Amino acid sequence: MQNPKDGFPMEFVHAARSLGRYRNTEQEAYLLSRILPLASHSKILDICCGFGRLSGKMYSLGYDVTGIDISAVQLSMARSENQGPRYLAMDMRAPPLEKFDALLSMFTSFGYFADPADDIHMLKTWASRLRPDGILVMELADMECARTKLPALDTSFVRHTLDVEEHCQMDWKRGIFKVAYRQGDTEFTCWTRLYEKEKLRDFLLHAGFREVQLFGDLALNNKNPESNLVIVATK
């Protein structure tokens, strides 16, 4: 399990856009604004901001936004296409030494490291960057979602959507999902470790969050087995 050390390339962005995975950005920003009232949670850190799709939208709603990512090419795109936020080239494990009102970890931007201890330690670091009563919002796939959506007996399969092929492998024992995206002559592979929602809740409580709520979407509806997990954790 080894994701690129310099972040996700533009091939990932092109594939995700073709798959329609950015089409609800405005709605996501609106729902986030309901979770994070501007009057009390205006200073936001967008972790793994990519090309700034959410950073830019939150900035347009009046938030003071800092976006961090390790992909130089995506940050360059963010600065040109989603102007306003402060964009920094930083590892998600070592965010700015500042206090924020809220942290965002969206689009399954968690579980990228070979050692799961890095994930657990990172949550403690994130908690340290929040002021008291600050909020972490996470949106990610979890093991429950994987068990519902992925073929139960197959460890390898292919999904076709328009001009994108997703060659998928699921290691059920370790909870690691590998996807090779192929679009035309380009290919990009990523690995993500998925967790049970209860385990993530326990990790966050031990990391220093006093309340951890689990939902099925940003509208804060109850989670169902096929939905991604939304976590609202308060320090």
Looking at residue 16, what is its pLDDT? 60
> With helix as H, strand as E and coil as C, how does the chain read?
CCCCCCCCCHHHHHHHHHCCCCCCHHHHHHHHHHHCCCCCCCEEEEECCCCCHHHHHHHHCCCEEEEEECCHHHHHHHHHHCCCCEEEECCCCCCCCCCEEEEEECCCCCCCCCCHHHHHHHHHHHHHCEEEEEEEEEEECCHHHHHHHCCCCCCEEEEEECCEEEEEEEECCCCEEEEEEEECCEEEEEEEECCCHHHHHHHHHHHCCCEEEEECCCCCCCCCCCCCEEEEEEC
Note the pTM of the prediction, 2 decimals. Answer: 0.91
User: What digits encode the pLDDT tens for the residues 175-233?
Assistant: 999 988 777 777 878 899 999 999 999 999 999 999 999 999 999 999 999 999 999 99
Which of 9-23, 43-57, 182-196 shows the lowest per-residue confidence on average (mean pLDDT)? Answer: 9-23
Mean of per-residue pLDDT scores for the chain: 90
What is residue 6's predicted lDDT score, i.e. its pLDDT?
66
On whether the 10-142+196-234 domain is CATH 3.10.129.10, my answer is no
